[in-house]
Structure formats: structure tokens, C-alpha cells
Amino acid sequence: MKSLKIKLDGIPIKIRLTLWYLLLAGMVVLLSGLYEYIQFQRSLYSSVDQSLEISVSQALSNIDMANGLPAFQNTENQPTASKMLLQSEFTIRILSPEGKVLESIGDKVLNAATDSLSAGYQTIQKDDLYRVLTQPIQDTDGQIVGWLQAVQSLEVIEETLGNMRTKLLLVLPVILLLTGLGGVFLANRTLRPIDQITRTAAEIGASDLSHRISYQGSQDEIGRLAQTFDSMLSRLEAAFKRERRFTGDAAHELRTPLTVLKGQLDVTLSKPRKKTEYESTLQALGEQVDRLIRLSNALLFLSRSDQKQLSWEPGSINLADLLDPIVEQILPLALERNLTVRTNIPAGLLVYGDTDHLIRLFLNLLDNAVKYTPKEGDIVLHAEEVPSGVRLEISNSGDGIPQEHIQHLFERFYRVESDRSSGTGGTGLGLAIAREIVLLHQGEIFVESEPGQGTKFIVLLPQPT
């Protein structure tokens, strides 16, 4: 069995399908032919048996005793059924109790006596094949005085059955041949799209993911396979594009502070300077270095998140306790810009998460709120319990974010054009990181923004169970 399996493994599906198809069809044809044959044989035999029975029962009523032995009354008065049968290869005869043939009418198809004498049907082979029905002839005392036998040659029936067998044996290979051809045709037709998929897949290289199978056939399993393959290619293409853009953006973001650093260094070193000038240059250089550190930290975080290597030490966290120090931290910056910061966090409200990641999340969102709220604006922090967990809203006044940017805000390096040149020092990675953190918590983050009203970031986090 094992070696058969190994051998089959190397055979193309097309041939395997056809072979299975052939095997099943062959078995069905063979079994149904066999069934028909047996049914036919039975019906022929039973019609012979019926005729024999009728003849015997009619003949029995036409028997008399002559010289102590049974004999037919008058052959002219033979029962009609027997007469009819006598035209075919049929014999009706009387035997002595010992089995000696005393009298016989008909074709004398079987001259010899049967081997055993007992009431009932027998099929015997003597030169030819015969069907015999034997009945005892009894006198008035119930004594067996002889036997009556109706004998029918089965030659014609056997010939008919033989013909049928030959026909079946001739038809079977023809049917198998036709089935085989049909199987090859069907297998070819069914598997052709798979060949197409294989060819397309072979043509696709990593540098060119724009190929598609674009299958036009019916929407069956293969149609769906082709579609799934196409959509997988689309996803891969999009992922490759994203990856390329990300590398390009990262290189660009790294180059900007480095160029500024180099420029400031060159200018400062171009001639001797006063101590205060060196100090202010170093301070400016320090800011660029901070920016580079922030950027590389953000990139490191995203890369760890992509590789599912972020640390994850979740626990039950009191939201007010977590947010208070973060608000404290951003307050000086907010005051610098005359912003009003209001918080409404119910005491004792708990979330389930990782403290370090949640601090980073809210720091990013609050830092953005401070950066992007116009001077003298408002920032409101509101939290409440909802059926799905805890809902936290960070709203700020301002012009709002134009609708066309909303869907891209959480993409890496995405920045609203007008904010790019605003000198906020942002990298465009803050919201992408926020999103990764929320997803890590199996929460949700989204943004609502009303033109001229302001912006609201909404975070849904799970509660401890």
C-alpha cells in the first residue's frame, strides 16, 4: 500500500483523476451489468420453472393405472400448455418408482433417467443442461407408484445468457475507453486554469509584483483560488511598496538632522568663535541629536512591533494614576502656549495593559495635542466606562484635520502637509506608534475632526477581567 502511494505521488493529478474516474466507472458498469445479468438469468429460470409446474400439474390429472403401473390416459388429450411446450425442447415422462422411464412424450430431450428421484426442481448436466421438475404419482392409498417428470432443455436459455455475457464483455472495454477519454477531457478542462496559475506564478519576480492572473472563468473553487492568488499578490505589492516608501522616508528623516548638524558644525568651525557662540551651537546640535535619538527610538519600536518582539507585561492599571504624571509632564509646554488643559478621569477607572506602552501612547497623543492646538486653545482629557471597556477622548481646539488626511494619519511618516513645515519637530511616526500600541492591547483608536472645531482622538482599551 505504501509503495503504491509513493508511486501515485509522482503521477500528475490529471492522470490520477482519470484513473480514479475509470476505476469507479468500470466498477459501476461491471456491477450494474452483473446485476442485470443475474436478474435476467433468474427471470428466464423462473419462467421455465413455471411452465414445468403447469405441465406437471396438468399431466398428473391425466394419468391412469395400467397393469399396476401409471400411464398417460390419452396422448391426444394432452393439456394445452404441455402441447405448447412440446413444440420446444421439452419432454414429459413417467418413471417407475425405481426410476426407469416407462413412457415419454415430447422431444425426448433427456433419455437417461435422473440420478436421484425426489420431488422438486433439479438442474442437471447430461450432455446438455436440463431443468427437471419431479413429482410423485400416488395411488389412492397415498402409495408412490411412480414419478412424473417434466424436462426442459436449457440450451436456448444458456445460449441467450451466453450472448448476453459476450455483449457485456464487449461493451465493457468500449465503455471504459469512452469513460477514460471523457475523464482525460474533463481533467484537462478542470485543471487548465491551474496550469495558467502556475505559469503566472512562475513569471512573477520580487521586483515585479504587478502581474495578475485575471482569471475570466467561472467562479468555482479554481476561480476563487485564482482570485485569492491575485488578492495575495495585491497585498504583497502593497506591502513591498509600503516597505520601500518606509525605507525612503526613514533615510530622508535621518538625513535632515544630519545635514543640519553638519552645516552647523562647518559654519562654527570655519573661524574662531566666542565661548557663547560655541555654547549656543552645541545646544542647537544637541537638539538635532535629540531629534535623531527620538527618530531612531521610534524606528526601533516599529521594527520590534513588526517582528512581534515588543515587551508585554500587562496588568491592571488605574487610569488616573497613569495619566496624572503625563499631564504634569506636558503642562509646562502647554502653559508656554497659553493652553488650557482640563481632565475628567473618574477615580478608580481601571484599564488592562502594559504601563510603559500606555505611557508612550498617551504621551504621543498629548504631545500632539499640545503641538497642534493653536495658542490660547483648549485640551480636554475625558475618560468613561463603556460596555466594550474604557473610552478615552483627547480633544483639542483648532482648525481640525482636513477630511482627505484622516484615513492616512496612522500611516508611518504621514504628516499633514501644512504641519510639515511648521517646525513642530515631529517625525510622522507618533500616531503610527500609537496605533501599534493600541492594537497590541486589542483596543481601537480613531479620530474625529470637525473643520474649524478641533480634533478628537478616541482610544478604546480593555478593562481587567
Q: Rule CB under 6 A: which residues touch ligand ADP?
A: 368-369, 372, 396, 398, 401, 409, 414-416, 419, 426-432, 455
Q: Which is nearer to ligand ADP, 369 or 440 (CB)?
A: 369
- Helix, strand, or coil (residue 163): helix
Per DSSP, helices labelled H in 96-220 are 155-203
Q: What cell does 214 get?
A: 485575471
Residue 390 CB: number of other CB atoms within 10 A? 22
Q: Which residue has the cell 527620538?
A: 294
**Min. distance of Cβ 187 from ligand ADP in angstroms?**
55
Rounded to a whole number of angstroms, the minimum distance from the CB of residue 409 to ligand ADP is 5
Q: Using the minimum distance from each CB to ligand ADP, give the nearer residue, 301 or 372.
A: 372
Instruction: Provide the minimum distance between the beta carbon of 431 and ligand ADP in the complex, in angstroms, as a whole number.
Output: 3
Judged by beta carbon, residue 319 or residue 379, the one nearer ligand ADP is: 379
Nearest residue (CB) to ligand ADP, 377 versus 443: 377
Contact 171, 177 (CB under 8 A): no
CB 303, min distance to ligand ADP, A: 17
* Closer residue to ligand ADP in complex, CB, 25/380: 380
Q: Which is nearer to ligand ADP, 53 or 419 (CB)?
A: 419
Among residues 70, 116, 126, 76, the alpha carbon closest in space to that of 93 is found at: 70
| Least gap, CB of 296 to ligand ADP (angstroms) | 14
Q: How far is the CB of 419 from ligand ADP (least distance, A)?
A: 4
Torsion of CA 279, 282, 287, 289, to 10 degrees: -160
Nearer to ligand ADP, 200 or 395 (CB): 395
Neighbours of 147 (CB within 10 A): 25
Give the integer Cα–Cα distance in Å for 374 and 397.
7
> Burial, 393: exposed, middle or buried (Cβ in 10 Å; 0-12, 13-18, 19+)?
middle
> How far out from the chain centre does Cα 251 lie?
43
Q: Between residues 409 and 440, which has the closer beta carbon with respect to ligand ADP?
A: 409
- Residue 47 has, within 13 A of its CA and on its CB side, a CA count of 8
Query: Rounded to the nearest whole angstrom, what is the least distance from the CB of residue 222 to ligand ADP in the complex?
Result: 44
Contacts with 396 (C-beta within 8 Å, 6 or more apart), sequence order: 369, 372, 373, 377, 378, 379, 380, 454, 455, 456
Three cell numbers written together for 251: 533615510
**Least distance to ligand ADP, CB of residue 400, Å:** 7
Task: Answer for the pair 355, 312: CB distance below 8 angstroms, yes or no.
Answer: no
